[in-house]
Structure formats: structure tokens, C-alpha cells
Amino acid sequence: MVAVLLVSCLLWVPAPATAFGTIEGGGQHREHERITRAALACHASAASSGDCFEPKSADQLAGHRKSFGAVGAPDLTEVSDPSAHCDDADYLDGGYPRTRAQATRGLLACVDHLRGRFREAVERAAGLLDDGDALVGAEVDLGIDCVLDAGSEQRAKCRTVEAFGRALHGAQDFYSHSNWADVTDLSRPLGADNPPGLGLPAPSPVLDLRGTGTPAVPAALSTGCFVLRDRVPGVEACTGRVTHAGLNKDNGTVDPSTGGVTAPTTPRGSVADNFARAVTGAIVETRHQWQEFRAALQAAYGRTRASLMICALTHDDPLNDCRRHSTVTVVLVISAGLIGLAGAGLLVFRIRRRRGWLMRRG
């Protein structure tokens, strides 16, 4: 009876929309992890200077082995939320079942959702430091992997990385689930099963996660409609519409070091170099969002504190690596010294010049 009830319950659990993969199997090849590593993991044994994540820290953001990592967290707890994956913003010009305004609202719901995750990450970073602006050992310790559940995970580094990873997930999905970067199949007529491709580069101004204004949305931009029976042509609520199944470029092999791709397996991803376009766009966007996040920390906490926070997030042993003066602090000290020397030199020059003038008058 217990087994029967368990199977019955599982049958009622909504299946997630297919996205860049978070597991190895079922057609997925851990695409989110590999994209994130290609974008932000430090190469080989290189130490981080703030632009990349060292191995243990990269594991928490990207995932490893059976762990989803922060970037895969939405596939654990937000599988049925289209705003977490930039789904359900479909549109096609000419007699389409949805208006451009409806599609734009769906896309902006995704942007707003990702902005919320981005802000959460900035706010949670405050817990990395104590009142004296020193790193808190318990908050940055990675003796055990982060738990992707804010209710039980208390470490500030893990909570910050999780929120940022959730923002990255949707930003990466935007390139797979939309026609922003891809091209259409020229061998077939345009339609719901073959929407136009915009062929645009990354980063996308639509994904302005630091901003608060309404981003401009191209008139032909579309993502896919998703229902559990995701297919082409669309069924149920997706009848007559551009579907997730017809537009996504989710699956294939991604090299976690170079970002190179092989073997795309979805119909849209197999058209021309669409899978490569989606992966490249996601990698560029991921790097861009990390730059934006660092800038947001500086704006919120000042350069010195933000430098410590960035060091703590990217280093595996921040207590040893980050307690020394940060690069920003050193630069500021050197700059202040140079300015002081320049000022002193200018003062001496003026005194000598004045003395010379007085002597000539005498």
C-alpha cells in the first residue's frame, strides 16, 4: 500500500520544464554546471583575483558529482515557476493567440524574478563580515558543501552564492529558451514550429539585473510556451503557439574549460550553430552578471568591504587569503601615497619659484 501511494504521489508531481541540464542522464549533460565552470571557474591551480572561483568555491556555485550547485537550485525548488526559467513569453507576428504585450509581461516577470535573486545575493553578502569589517570564519567555511535550502543553510557564503546562482540559472536559460541569439531554419517556412531567430549577441540589455527600470524588449523576441506534454505542435494551453519543445537549445555536450560544444540534440539546437550560440551567450552573460554583482557590492558596501566580500566568495581559504589587505586597499594606499608625493613636490616647486621671484625683485 505504501509503495502504491508513493507511486501515485509521484505521478502528480509536476515535471520541470526542460532546460540546460543539471544532471547527467535523461538527455541532459550537466549543461548549467559546465557553462558556469567555463565562465567563472579558475583554470588549473590558478589563484583567484576576484574574476574566477577557486575549485571548492566553484563546486558550490556550479555543482559537482551529484550536487546541483547553486546554479541548479531552481531545478530543485522552482521547477514549475516559468519566471525562474524565462518560459511562457512566446509571441509570433501575425494572428498569434497572444499579444506582444502579454508576451512582454511574461518576459518582464522573469527579469523581475532574477532581479530579486540578484538583490538577495547582495544583501546576504553583508553576513560575510562582522561589525569590525573582518571576515567571520563560520560564515565562509566550506568544510562541508553548501545546502541549497535557505531554511537550513546559515553560512553567509553559501546563502550568497545560492541567491546569485539562482539568478544565473534564469539568465542562462534565457539564451536557450528564447530566440535572442539563434537563427531560424531557412529550409522551412516561418511559423509557430519555426519562429524567426534574432541572432543577437550577449550580454543582453534585457537582463539588466542591477537596474530597476523596464528594459526594452525587441518586437520579435519570444520564449517558448510550456506545459507538461511539451511538444511540437503545441497541445493544451500551448495549441497554436511557439512551444518550449520547438524553441529550446538545452542539450548537448559543453566543454567546462573552453565552452566548446558538440552533439546538440534538440531540434532548434541542431539548426545551424544554434546550440553553440546559446551556450556562448550564456557564458558571456554569466561573466557579465558576475561583473555586475561585484559592482553592486561596491555600490552597496564601499570598495574596501566589497573587495573582502568578493575575495571571500571566490577563495577556498578566505581566512588566510583575504585577511591581508585586499588588492583594492593596496591600490588605494599606493594611490594616496603617490598623490601625497605629488602634492609635496608641487608645494616645494611653488616655494622655490616664489623664492626666486622674491630674489629677482630684491
Taking CB atoms within 8 Å and a gap of at least 24, the contacts of 209-216 are 209/111, 209/114, 209/115, 209/118, 209/167, 209/171, 209/289, 209/292, 210/118, 210/292, 210/295, 210/296, 211/115, 212/115, 214/108, 215/108, 215/111
Answer yes or no: is 256 within a domain. Answer: yes
- Angstrom distance (rounded) from CA 59 to CA 62: 5
The candidate with the shortest Cα–Cα distance to 51, out of 296, 288, 359, 224, is: 288
Question: Which burial class, exposed, middle or buried, applies to 340 when counting CB atoms under 10 A from its CB (0-12, 13-18, 19+)?
Answer: exposed
270, 249: one domain: yes
- Angstrom distance (rounded) from CA 168 to CA 164: 6
Answer yes or no: is 70 within a domain. Answer: yes
81, 186: one domain: yes
Which pLDDT belongs to residue 133?
A: 97
105, 242: one domain: yes
Answer yes or no: is 5 within a domain. Answer: no
Q: CB under 8 Å to 324, separation ≥6 — which residues?
A: none
Q: pTM for the whole thing?
A: 0.85
- Mean pLDDT over the full length of the chain: 88
What is the tens place of the pLDDT at every residue in 101-157? 999 999 999 999 999 999 999 999 999 999 999 999 999 999 999 998 767 899 999
The candidate with the shortest Cα–Cα distance to 136, out of 107, 157, 122, 153, is: 157
Cell numbers that stand for 330 in this block? 593596496
Answer yes or no: is 290 within a domain. Answer: yes
Instruction: Give the Cβ contact number of residue 211 at 10 Å.
Output: 13
- Angstrom distance (rounded) from CA 162 to CA 37: 15
Answer yes or no: is 275 within a domain. Answer: yes
314, 360: one domain: no
- Please, what are the averages of pLDDT over each run of 10 residues along the chain (362 residues)? 38 50 78 97 92 97 91 93 97 96 98 98 98 98 88 94 98 98 98 98 98 97 96 97 98 97 97 98 98 98 98 97 59 49 54 49 46
Task: Give the Å distances, CA to CA, from 358 to 341, 344, 361.
Answer: 26, 21, 5
Answer yes or no: is 9 within a domain. Answer: no
Which pLDDT belongs to residue 256?
A: 97
- Angstrom distance (rounded) from CA 53 to CA 341: 37
Which amino acid is residue 343, in one-letter code? G
The candidate with the shortest Cα–Cα distance to 155, out of 170, 168, 171, 136, is: 136
- Angstrom distance (rounded) from CA 229 to CA 15: 9
339, 270: one domain: no
| Domain with 304 in it | 21-323
∠ CA 164-279-66, rounded to 5°: 60
How many distinct structural domains can be found in the chain? 2
- Angstrom distance (rounded) from CA 247 to CA 270: 11
188, 86: one domain: yes
267, 234: one domain: yes
309, 341: one domain: no
What is the tens place of the pLDDT at every residue in 216-228? 999 999 999 999 9
The candidate with the shortest Cα–Cα distance to 69, out of 139, 124, 148, is: 148
Answer yes or no: is 3 within a domain. Answer: no
205, 231: one domain: yes
Answer yes or no: is 102 within a domain. Answer: yes
181, 307: one domain: yes
Q: Where are the beta strands (DSSP E) in the chain?
A: 24-25, 28-29, 253-254, 261-262
67, 187: one domain: yes
102, 223: one domain: yes
